[in-house]
Structure 1
Amino acid sequence: MDTGAAPIAAIDIGGTKIAAALVGSAGTLLTRTQRPTPAASDGETVLGAVLDALDELATAPGWAEVRALGVGSAGPVDIGRGTVSPVNIPGWRGFPIVERLSAHPAARGLPVVLAGDGIAIAAAEHRFGAARPYDNALCMVVSTGVGGGLVLNGGLHTGRTGNAGHIGHITVDLDGDPCPCGSRGCVEQLASGTAIARYALRSGWRPAGQDTSAVAVAAAARAGDPRARAAYERAGRALAAAIAATATLVEIEAVVIGGGVAQADGLLFDPLRAHLKTYAALPFAAGLTVHRARLGTDAGLVGAAAVALAAGA
């Protein structure tokens, strides 16, 4: 995004929040808005929250110069069909998000470019962030769900439908819990914020108040609660196993991890790095560099804009 270039509108759709922004040069956010995701509601209600965020964005200064709308969504996605089927939003199955956004008055004929949230964070971190020095990297978002995207040979590797690198649904526990995706023992069932909180509660952890989120588990872990620490240890180990498998398949040099759960810092990254030394044992997979995402929780927005730009916007 060159200095002085027209901004890109971006929407980041996750299981917890829907964020929208105008993204300018160097990946800077010019204006931003956010809504909670009504994930348990029907598909039209979820779309209503997206359109509400878009309508607010369209009132911002600079909207008239916007040249494209980039959309990053929890997956799976199908970039050819323009549809999304987020595991954590059951009301959207094959939902035609590109068609519906394109038809909305605020979009006013803008090209709408869809990407999975993992691909979006990979685009953002490779263009502007921690993956910039690497030609081969895995970029991940660990939040309500777990997603990922690959940079191979210096460029984004999206796959046929846009789901390449969707690491959250690699099985790492053969006898693990069933996953809404239809498999069992997926990384997302062990390492997402939802899974961390669920495991801690199942192990006997009880919050001081009403907050049973992964953030509350992290606070308890820092205070020394062994059950809370075990939940993060388990998450780090699951991530390490999946990252090692990816490194073995495609010889990545680095992994970049963002999303809300990554804010736990050492609680997550220390066990991840320790277990990675065991699981990534072959010489060509060993020695991976692990980074925290540089763009923080806004990486999805910056990445959605970067994908739109890469598509020729």
Structure 2
Amino acid sequence: MLTLCLDIGGTKIAAGLVDPDGELIHCARRPTPNNAGAEEVWAVVADMVAAERAVAAGAVGAVGIAAAGPIDRHSGTVDPINIGCWRGFPLRDRVSAAVPGVPVRLGGDGVCMALGEHWRGAGRGARFLLGIVVSTGVGGGLVLDDAGYQGRTGNAGHVGHVVVDPDGQPCACGGRGCVETVAAGPSMVRWARAHGWVGTGARALARAASTGDAVAVQAFDRGATALAAMIVSVAAVCDLDRVVIGGGVAESGRVLFDPLRAALSCRTGLDFIRGLQVAPAELGSNAGLIGAAALVASTT
């Protein structure tokens, strides 16, 4: 049997079919409607679910959902920061009604990314894993003792809101000085432009850094330092053995990973943190779908 998987975020909605070995055998993506009502967004999800069921031809045995958060895994509702029209939206119940007779599991997109990389990507073989997505924001998820860890409500692993500068910039979460305010793509771009860089967008900033532009290099150094501070803190709490980093900003490669590893080497004083492995993600945009299938497998 196949698992029908959804990965729902503020930019795109993905749906796919994953086999028992973790292979994504079919996938479709559509943009998340902008400035739309709750039912308009749901209509896109419902259409995609119906299309995947048709492809599966009756072979769907379960549904896994990776959703932008916050979520409530007990009630099955979601309140995504980046889908403003979904407030207390009963996502799990809606999907259950659309795919009757099979179990439906809901998880945060961060923990599903981590589970996907743990199962089929750069996290294979790690028992204690932190998955991080560095993109428009900074998200994350934990795999502890080989199991996805969701916490009390399903929102464990929101590492983008670890505070690294108590007197720093205000964050969308309502806090101040979160990692996301320094290391997310738009945050690095804003800092660079405020310091004289004239380009636009995180990809352009990465290209500028790769050619030695001093301001762009410093922007990535700041972001990497903030990520390192957060990683060391989480590693100290959770006794991690590996960190896997994906997302658009992480695709800049050495521009991010070289200063990140240098910053980590200056901050890992504890013996049990010194061996921490940091690796680029391998599954790209498929990690959430594969992780949603892993979430089903781990809870059934």
Say yes or no: TM over 0.5.
yes
Give secondary structure in 2 for the equivalent of 1:114. Answer: strand
Q: Is there any run of 5+ residues in structure 1 with no aligned partner, and where?
A: 1-5
Query: Structure 1 pair 271/10, CA: closer, same or farther in 2 (3 Å)?
Result: same
Query: Structure 1 pair 286/233, CA: closer, same or farther in 2 (3 Å)?
Result: same
Question: Does residue 99 of the first structure (1) align with residue 93 of the second (2)?
Answer: yes
- Name the aligned partner's letter for residue 136 of structure 2: T
* Cα distance in 1 between the residues matched to 2:11 and 2:201: 12
Give secondary structure in 1 for the equivalent of 2:273. Answer: coil
> How far is 1:21 from its partner?
0.9
Q: Is there any run of 5+ residues in structure 2 with no aligned partner, and where?
A: none
Q: Where does residue 72 of structure 2 map in the other structure?
A: 78
Query: 1:211-250 maps to which residues of 2 (within 5 A)?
Result: 212-250=200-238
Question: Does residue 273 of the first structure (1) align with residue 267 of the second (2)?
Answer: no
Confirm or deny: 8 A CA contact 2:163 2:177 kept in the other structure.
Answer: yes
Query: Structure 1 pair 309/153, CA: closer, same or farther in 2 (3 Å)?
Result: closer
Query: Structure 1 pair 197/149, CA: closer, same or farther in 2 (3 Å)?
Result: same
> How far is 1:39 from its partner?
5.2
> How far is 1:124 from its partner?
1.2
* Cα distance in 1 between the residues matched to 2:244 and 2:120: 12
* Cα distance in 1 between the residues matched to 2:34 and 2:177: 22
Q: Where does residue 3 of structure 1 map in the other structure?
A: none
Q: Where does residue 102 of structure 2 map in the other structure?
A: 110
Confirm or deny: 8 A CA contact 1:16 1:144 kept in the other structure.
Answer: no
From 55, 58, 64, give the equivalent of 2:58: 64
Confirm or deny: 8 A CA contact 1:9 1:20 kept in the other structure.
Answer: yes
> How far is 1:134 from its partner?
1.7
Normalising to structure 2: TM-score of the pair? 0.92
Confirm or deny: 8 A CA contact 2:53 2:60 kept in the other structure.
Answer: no
Confirm or deny: 8 A CA contact 1:33 1:56 kept in the other structure.
Answer: no
Q: Where does residue 120 of structure 1 map in the other structure?
A: 112
After TM superposition, where is structure 1 displaced by more than 4 Å over at least 4 residues in a row? none
> How far is 1:116 from its partner?
0.7
From 122, 130, 144, give the equivalent of 1:130: 122
Output one character per residue of 1:205-240: Cα deviation in whole Å (capped at 9) or x when no partner.
223xxxx33222222222332222222222211111
Query: 1:185-204 maps to which residues of 2 (within 5 A)?
Result: 185-204=177-196
Question: Does residue 8 of the first structure (1) align with residue 3 of the second (2)?
Answer: yes
Give secondary structure in 2 for the equivalent of 1:95. Answer: coil
* Cα distance in 2 between the residues matched to 1:307 and 1:14: 17
Question: Does residue 179 of the first structure (1) align with residue 167 of the second (2)?
Answer: no
Give secondary structure in 2 for the equivalent of 1:284. Answer: helix
- Name the aligned partner's letter for residue 26 of structure 1: D
From 40, 45, 51, give the equivalent of 1:45: 40
Q: Where does residue 145 of structure 1 map in the other structure?
A: 137
Confirm or deny: 8 A CA contact 1:245 1:280 kept in the other structure.
Answer: no
The root-mean-square deviation of aligned C-alpha atoms, in Å, is: 1.9
* Cα distance in 1 between the residues matched to 2:46 and 2:221: 39
* Cα distance in 2 between the residues matched to 1:248 and 1:138: 12
> How far is 1:40 from its partner?
4.8
> How far is 1:286 from its partner?
2.2
Confirm or deny: 8 A CA contact 2:148 2:295 kept in the other structure.
Answer: no
Give secondary structure in 1 for the equivalent of 2:61. Answer: coil
> How far is 1:198 from its partner?
2.8
- Name the aligned partner's letter for residue 77 of structure 2: T
- Name the aligned partner's letter for residue 167 of structure 1: V
Confirm or deny: 8 A CA contact 2:71 2:107 kept in the other structure.
Answer: yes
Q: Where does residue 241 of structure 2 map in the other structure?
A: 253
* Cα distance in 2 between the residues matched to 1:224 and 1:138: 30
* Cα distance in 2 between the residues matched to 1:270 and 1:42: 43
* Cα distance in 1 between the residues matched to 2:57 and 2:188: 40
Q: Where does residue 306 of structure 1 map in the other structure?
A: 294
Normalising to structure 1: TM-score of the pair? 0.89
